[in-house]
A and B are shown apart, each in its own frame.
Chain A
Amino acid sequence: MTGRLKHIVKEDKKYFFLFSLLLLIIFILGIISPVLVEKKRQNWESELKAITTTIDGSVQSKISDMESEILRLKSEVKSEVGKVLSQNKVPNGNLFDLLNKQNYAGNSIEIYDNSREMIAWTPETAPSGSRLLQLDYQPGEIHFCRTGLQTYLCVIDTLNISGGGDYFLSVSIPVEKYYKLQNNYFRNVSLSEELSQKFMTSFEIEYSPSAEFTKDGRKHSTEVKSNYGNRIAVITFSKPSRDTNLANLKEIFIDFQSVLAIISIICLALGLRKNLKKIRQRTLRFAAVFLFFAVLRALLFLLDIPSRFIEGPLTDASNFASAFGFGIVKSPLEFSVTIIIALLVCLYLFENVYKYVKTNNRKSPNNIIKILAVLFGAAFYLIELRGVGASLKSIIFDSSLRYFKEPGLLPNLASGLMQLNFLVLGLSSVMVSVSVILFIFSLVAKERKSLKSEFFTVFAIFQILGIIYDLTQSEPQGTPLIRIIYITLTFIAAYKIQFEERRNLFNYIYFTLISSIITISLLNYYNTQLEKESLKTTAFELTRTNDDWLEYLIREALFNASTSPETIRALKSQQTDYESAAFLIWSQSTLQREEISSSITFLDRQKAFLGSFGINIDPKYRISPEVLDYQGEELQIFNNYRPAALQGKIVSGIVPVKEDNVLLGYVAATVLFDPERVRVENLPGFLQSKQNKYNTAVNFDKLKVFVFTDNLLTNVYGDIIPADWHIENIIHADLSETNDTWINLNINKENYITYILRESENNSSKIIAVSLKEKNLSWSLYNFFKVFFIHSIFIISLLAFIFLFQLKGKNKEFRYTFRTQLLAAFLLIALLPMIFLAFYNRTLTEEKNRDTILFKLKQNASDIENYLKEHLLGNPSLSLRLLATDANRDLNIEFALYNDKELFYSSKEEFYSAGIIPPILNPFVYDRLKHQGFKEYVTEEKIENYPFISFASKIELGGKEYILKVNDIFNKIPLPVTSEEVDIFLFGSYFFATILVIIFSTVLANRISSPIRSLTKATASVASGDFGFEVNNNQKGEIRDLISGFNLMIKELKRSQAELAEMERETAWKEMARQVAHEIKNPLTPMKLAVQQLIIAYKDKSPKLDMIFDKVSQTIISQIETLNNIASEFSAFARMPKIVVEHMELNSVVEDACNLFIEENIRIETERDSERYLIEADKDQLKRTIINLIRNSMQAGADTVKINIYKKGSKINLEVNDNGRGILQEHQGRVFEENFTTKEKGMGLGLKLAKKFMESIKGNISVAETSPRGTKILLEFPYK
């Protein structure tokens, strides 16, 4: 065991070292953090001094930056304005153009002439005309100035133009907004909040030269001085709390430790990675991976990562929260983390099942196992599908995001992430489902020939089991149609994988596409359920608002108002902008958030009216008689005021506002409770909370509401009055124990789904029936494309990623292949017109919508103008203000009249008097109408960040020129189709088409270029000397002829090569024979002469016989030696080419050899780890050996060859496994013998040469396994 552990640790030392190091750091941090915290606690006094000094310094630095910025801005504007005024002595449009440059946006800049008349300004104005007269500050001195709602950092300066007179320039930067709006349009500006958040302590700023330092010892004040050294404000902050600081320090340590813990577990995983690969059992390996990811997720959850570090919409539970798994999906971000981990597990499962199935050469199990596999697999498959359905139901019901109702083409961050989440959820599900199908199929399939029929049988069984499964469920998830489609699509994907010979990363695109279709369909289905459920919610909503609730709202608003410094300031200063002060109270109360018809009113000590702000309450009802009569000293609520002219009743309250027990005045709050008006109608968009638009599943306008009190119909909301039998049906409906029920009503031949709720209130019975036309449940293509558009962006991104990944994997450079050219051409031809059409349609709709708005606004302006003129013509002495009020009432058009640039009248005057909309005419409108001679002008404006369109025209009334202005913020103009709807439909459907075009283009480009690619590969193979194959020819036309010609050419080449080789051999033999003869002749002649000399000497009985004998013998021996040498040389000449041994990487040689078979009917899979195995061998001979082995496999009927490379002891093993016929038992011992072959045209040399080669490099080759289902040849190389 210890040895095994040592082995493990040795393999990946660096990761284990890091793991240990991180654990040690975590441990050390755990020890030192309490020490540091304690030390800080003990030295808190000195720490506090240092912190206070630091904050003081930082605040001064911040103020200094702001002052520098405004001075820079003033200098720039002054210089530019000076140039313009020098060139044009009379102010004109150039001045407006200059001030309204984009880089001045958000600031308030005004130019005054020497009579203090404003001659140019920016859209956001902080009018300072009155301050010019007060001369509180010297020209050029920075100071703070305040309007009713905001405080600005201001500077006023003089501008002398030689020969052009004196001008004043005022530049203001907003620093503090006192109101808050709870919606996305609100632009918050608050220096005090910014400082509070930055320094984590409470800041109060008194923007006044007379502001005083705090006397509270728990606080610290710092002075803000102007550029002239005068006090202009005092900033006071609470000295940071010791406990908060210590808690923050602890939090920092915990954050750090959490991150280290996660990194350490990843290091551990990396360290064990190689060992994972050594687990031979796939299932065990999968179990280990599953366990690791489960532990990782649990750890992330326990440490609250990533939510600990990220705040905002991604971690907002209102966007999605489910209690599933203790809360591992408690927010969109946590859901992402969980689902990504799930995806990795599913991906690993799929890859392993894929490999398992593709290398499956086991014997088919018995029938019981098969039946069990199908049943168990189908059960798992269907439970898993049910899980996906349940998850999507939760995504709809546990979320406030309305995926099909969001405005705009692109979703917000949270919605976008959730859409990615459920796409990934579906993708994981599809991968698991396909894995289950492939696995079951691998167990069920007998042999390859019967695969397809068995596949369809399994498919049919799954479909039948799906129906049975749904029948057994009390509440099936999704619809039968979606289930059938899901099973069909996953089987198609599995079929493609099972029967397509080549592995394809693009399978994941198909999976993602299936996921998108299924998840959006399920989402759409559950959305209709939610819409139905919203009838219930509406009934609850109608009963939610009661006296208690309204009284609470008033009490809350009044209590906050009575303690607010702003209220005290307003009443003390006797200022005139009480409307602003009333708006401040209203905006900070729940009244704004709830969009309730309500008002806030300021009264003086004698209860005389000072000013008010209200929404949808006529000013005459804003103060009830009880409020005026009230003489008490405490906050008081009244709820019995029912004016005869009003449908509902008024609930109101009053609170005296005191300072140091001295009564300053009163604040009154009023709420109109009108059961018939469920919501405030025509609330300007910039005041709406997001509730209306997003948080309701169905548009309220589509609902019909019938309210019964004691069985009598008392209120109807909507355009349908129920008939008697409808009323009977509602009143006598059978209610459940929760006092509610669902019924269907047939109204005007349309089916209405109706929810009925019975409530008891004040001893009377109340029935609320909420109906929705069944057809209005939005199951539509629009919904599908709304989400599919986003999914298609993800899918196309995935496609691009796969493309780049493949590109990198091949040659690391872009290859401009024939296929690529074809694909590019197809895409270009198909997509260009689509993109062009999409943008054209969008532009067209936008223009039409704008034209519709302008037409309607123009018509409104014209109606108002005609009304005013007609009435003035009959009676010129009529008050124009009163006439304008009548026009607003009679025509129901909201408008404003300007006398020059000043507001003269507005039907929404309180928005101007409260300071929400500037009472100065928009500078662009003024410039165009006054300076540039336009008669009418259209402009886009903004309140906060809410955009709207204004139409302005010059009109003459009673001999005086006015500017009439109407906008679409107060005059709602319905559009038949909004730009967003067009965007969604166009881009959604076009993106869907784009994905289809990409898929079809890829298929077509592959198909057309396939023979060319085959020929290219074939040519490469021929070039490398491999003639042993034929290009498949199932083409038509010229391509067929080309391939036939090529194959014929290969055959001819092969034959010619054989003939040539034969000829060469013959020639070589002849030449050799001639050479041999020639070489042999040379020594034979001296031998012959010597023997003849010896014979003569012998016959002559020569006395020198002995000597001659010796000499002749020497000669003969010498020539025999020569003959021997000649024989050796010839022998050496005939030997095999010399082996060139070199260092090489085994993997690359195997890859080169395998590449030659890419276009052939053989699947070659290589399985190896990431290590580079270096061996010493002859590269060409090794490659030839591998090619030889693969060819042998093919000739043995194999369609799959799997090559495994791994290290075993001191050797590198290379296994060549095939699924061919195998080697007969009687042949097994002879396969490496010379001249042994079972092939018709074989020479019996291939394996012999392979063996000889392997032996020459001190390796070995052997038949490791063989059976009728395949053979394993093992090549062993010495490890270098």
Chain B
Amino acid sequence: MKKFFINVKIRLFILLNVLLIALNAMLFAQFQQQKVQLKEQKPALEIPKSIFGKIEEGIAVRDLDKFSKFFGAQTYLSIPNRNPGYYSSDQVFYILQDYFRIFKPVSFRFLIISEKSDNPYASGYYKFESKGIRGTAQVYISLKQAGGNWKISQITIN
């Protein structure tokens, strides 16, 4: 009888731990997903020029983490071979990641940075290499204020 109860306790203990691991895995995975959103909540003190600088650097070195925190909840994205439209921040991140993986940046710089209006924008040339073929695309990125922070409202690459 005693042995039986010890067995039940051990089984319950193991099961509890398995469930806790599963729950933790779920929570951790969700936490990862929320990272972008948490970053959004952080007040962005940067001025548009600084943000465009980070975007320029991020694209040039193919590191989206450098500016992914500026993606809005809904960002307008228009790039070749994909439907133009509004995408969630997660989608924009992975779409651009794929795009830059296929069209590997050779160089990138903004030629125009405008901070004059309520919708600052920058445009420039993006030189890429894709499967041995080199090409140039034009990039337009605009910002918009949301809750006191600057967010990327639109990205166009053609």
Contacts and interface: CB of A to CB of B under 8 A. Distances in A.
A544 B117 CA distance: 13
A559 B78 CA distance: 18
A737 B138 CA distance: 34
A738 B18 contact: no
A533 B88 CA distance: 12
Nearest to A372: B12
A325 B28 CA distance: 7
Interface stretch (A315-323, A806-814, A1247-1255): A315-323
B74 interface: yes
Interface string A476-499: 000000000000000000000000
Contact of A737 (B87, B118, B133, B147): B147
Contact of B129 (A244, A316, A318, A390): A244
Nearest to A287: B18
Given A321-B94, A324-B33, A690 B83 contact: yes
Contacts of A696: 85
Nearest to A317: B94
Contacts of B21: 290
B119 interface: yes
B74 A537 contact: yes
B14 A327 contact: no
A199 to B, nearest CB: 8
B95 A201 contact: no
A548 B117 contact: yes
- B81, B83, B140, B154 — most chain A CB neighbours (10 Å): B83
Given A387-B26, A761-B117, A331 B94 contact: yes
B158 A325 contact: no
A689 B26 contact: no
Task: Summarize A's interface: helix, strand, loop or mixed.
Answer: helix
Contacts of B140: 549, 552, 556
B158 A548 contact: no
B97 interface: yes
Contact of A323 (B32, B87, B158): B32
B14 A287 contact: yes
Contact of A689 (B83, B93, B147): B83
Contacts of A546: 117, 119
Interface in B56-98: 74, 76, 78, 80-88, 90-91, 93-95, 97-98
Nearest to B72: A540
A197 B102 CA distance: 13
Given A365-B8, A544-B153, A397 B132 contact: no
Contacts of B26: 383, 387
Contacts of B15: 283
Interface string B120-158: 010100000101111000101010001110000110101
Interface in A545-588: 546, 548-549, 552, 555-556, 559-560
Contacts of B16: 376
A283 B121 contact: no
Interface in A117-133: none
A556 B138 contact: yes
A321 B90 contact: yes
A594 B84 contact: yes
Contact of A362 (B4, B88, B121): B4
A556 B93 CA distance: 24
A398 interface: yes
Given A200-B133, A317-B91, A281 B14 contact: yes
A244 B131 CA distance: 7
A323 B93 contact: yes
Contacts of B134: 202
Contact of A540 (B4, B76, B148): B76
Contact of A321 (B1, B91, B132): B91
Contacts of B88: 321, 397-398
Contact of A544 (B4, B76, B114, B138): B76
A760 interface: yes
A548 B119 contact: yes
Contacts of B25: 294, 325
B157 to A, nearest CB: 9
A937 interface: no
Contacts of A363: 1, 4
A94 interface: no
A78 interface: no
A534 to B, nearest CB: 9
Contacts of A1260: none
Interface string A718-756: 000000000000000000011000000000000000000
Interface in B32-67: 32-33, 35-36
Contacts of B95: 316-318, 321
A1039 to B, nearest CB: 46
B14 A284 contact: yes
A1272 interface: no
A528 B140 CA distance: 32
Contacts of A321: 88, 90-91, 93-95
A549 B154 contact: yes
A536 interface: yes
Nearest to A537: B86
A398 B91 contact: yes
A325 B34 CA distance: 10
A589 B158 contact: yes
Contacts of B83: 182, 318, 400, 689-691, 694-695
Nearest to A245: B132
A241 B132 contact: yes
Nearest to A284: B14
B68 to A, nearest CB: 9
B29 A549 contact: no
A240 interface: yes
A325 B29 contact: yes
Contacts of A544: 76, 142, 153-154
A540 B8 contact: no
Contacts of A533: 74
Contacts of B131: 197, 200, 244
A196 B147 contact: no
A330 interface: yes
A689 B84 contact: yes
Contacts of A281: 10-11, 14
A390 B86 contact: no
Interface in B1-31: 1, 4, 8, 10-12, 14-19, 21-23, 25-26, 28-30
Contacts of B30: 324, 390
A326 interface: yes
Contacts of A399: 91
A73 to B, nearest CB: 32
A282 B153 CA distance: 53
A400 B154 contact: no
Contacts of B154: 544, 549
Interface in A386-425: 387, 390, 394, 397-400
A182 B81 CA distance: 7
Contacts of A555: 123
Contacts of B74: 533, 536-537, 540
- B98, B121, B129 — most chain A CB neighbours (10 Å): B98
The 8 A-B residue pairs whose C-beta atoms are closest, nearest first, are A317-B94, A325-B29, A695-B85, A200-B132, A283-B14, A321-B94, A244-B132, A738-B147
9 contacts: A245-B132, A318-B91, A322-B90, A324-B30, A549-B154, A560-B138, A590-B78, A695-B84, A738-B147
Given A245-B132, A696-B85, 15 more contacts: A196-B133, A199-B132, A201-B132, A294-B25, A318-B87, A323-B36, A324-B32, A328-B29, A398-B88, A400-B85, A540-B76, A540-B153, A552-B156, A590-B78, A594-B84
Interface of A: 182, 196-197, 199-202, 238, 240-241, 244-245, 281-284, 286-287, 290, 294, 315-318, 320-328, 330-331, 362-363, 365, 369, 376, 380, 383, 387, 390, 394, 397-400, 533, 536-537, 540-541, 543-544, 546, 548-549, 552, 555-556, 559-560, 589-590, 593-594, 689-691, 694-696, 737-738, 759-762
